[in-house]
A and B are shown apart, each in its own frame.
Chain A
Amino acid sequence: MSNAVEVHSVSKSFGAVKALDDISFEVRAGELFGLVGPDGAGKTTLFRILTTLLVADSGSASVLGLDPVKDLWAIRSRVGYMPGSFALYPDLSVSENLEFFAAVFGTTIEKGYELIEPIYKQLEPFRARRAEALSGGMKQKLALSCALVHRPELLLLDEPTTGVDAVSRREFWDQLGRLKSSGLTIVVSTPYMDEALRCDRVALIHGGRILEVDLPQSIGARYSLPLIAVKGSNRFALLQTLREFPSARSVYLFGDELHYSDKRVNADAGEIAAEVKTFLAQHGHADAETAPITAGIEDSFMELMGSAPAPKAEAA
């Protein structure tokens, strides 16, 4: 078995809303695979199908070589799942939560301790504290420990870092890296582009469709348009003005600067940067600075999202 997860043309609708529209991809065994997309892209629906909680309308999937519809019980004992909101018992202590999930999987903390040790070690001082009194980062670590206590072969994490501080996020991804090197296959969804870069491969998902599956670096490298970073004092006015530039393709906020892409695919980025600067100076943005840049994954994502058909729910 070389693929831990295979998804073939899976679709799922909720009433008039098409949550997943003909999705296909595979995750190789031992891979750290990222599902990257904004809220409402269909990531959670996909996880719920893979974890046997939902049945797809059409298409087929296989998880660890098993069918999520027919072999649901086998999948349930071999997969570790961490839903979007950490599903812990707030009124049970850290150790009680972990013990409980171990018991549910018919195992004990001791048997799975080796795998969770580096994570659980940090929770040990708070083992008697109730889960509701933990910080976001600690809750996340406890939830991960609970999802790992039965030594699963595949770990499915639905937006594990949402609502967690930056330091905890980095620590969390360090742990994922360690788990991956122990041979565990991990599928993780995230709305954050910086996290996508830490995956082996990512699938960009938007409006229930997969836009691209590739190495995170290659997705950025595939970007073919001239891209200019623009800095200036009044970013909102700058955005308005830039959109009026005759050959503008797209302009969007990117951190504290703006990213501008041009329609002229084969033009020299340096020349365009100069043109844009002149245009801005003429329109009252004398302090604006422009510089050609290489596209990152987020630029690719913005570009792909722009060319993807609008989600049905929004069109309706």
Chain B
Amino acid sequence: MALFNRTPRAPLEYSRTLWLRGWVTAVMVFLYAPLIVLMVFSFNDSKRNVVWRGFSTKYYVKAWNDSTLVEALVNSLTIAALATLFSLVLGTFAAIMLWRFRFPFKGAVDGVMSLPIIVPEICLGVAFLIFFAAIDWPSGLIWPFNLSAITIAHITFCFPFVTMVVRSRLASFNKEQEEAAKDLGASEWQAFRDVLLPHIRPALVAGALLAFTLSLDDFVITFFTAGPDTITFPVKVYSMVRFSVTPVVNAASTVLIILTVVLTALALKYQGVKSIAESH
């Protein structure tokens, strides 16, 4: 409809030029077509992924009955939830420390704390492999404690992202508000809980979403820290893709995509598309 809009285009309305619209459409097709095809073919009634042979949900049943796949998914969600929780606490404290205080070697501390964002995943994965082999822990623990190594690794690379998001939100905080609260008799903790925390809440939501998806997404670091009995969803899908491409992988992937979309929708409902978009 907008294509046939009669009002003349203003000079800066680049988004209304035809070639730019075509370009954006092409990029969106490029980004989404593979995912949509993958989801459609998870309902295909055929072993092979190439020809459509009718609608079926049998591969979802198959995926559901594959106990290692379900276990991997449960492991991944548990790790992601734990990593998100710890990352939020550590990340928020780190952000407050770096924003509020002046202390010796602050530049160095700031730099080292953001290093896990920059260091390549493969190097971090290798470091955790060596580290956990050297301290010979955790081994032989019961669920969910056998996931400790992976969870610890995930927290290490997730919490700097939370710090980054919270810190940029803190920059817009007026410190006089906190001082006013303290003048009116609030304790340090009350001022934090009732004044600072409400202000950074959008950043906490964005940070939590980021940490959860980063953890759920991670393959490389987990690949190096996972033992034979601690398989996560990406590691499991990886071995399935490597050895046998079946529509079961499509079904499992579709579940994960839908999970991502639902999480995003929840965050949007809670926070609005704009503030989520801007916090990145």
Tell me if chain B binds chain A. Answer: no
B contacts, CB < 8 Å to A: none
A contacts, CB < 8 Å to B: none
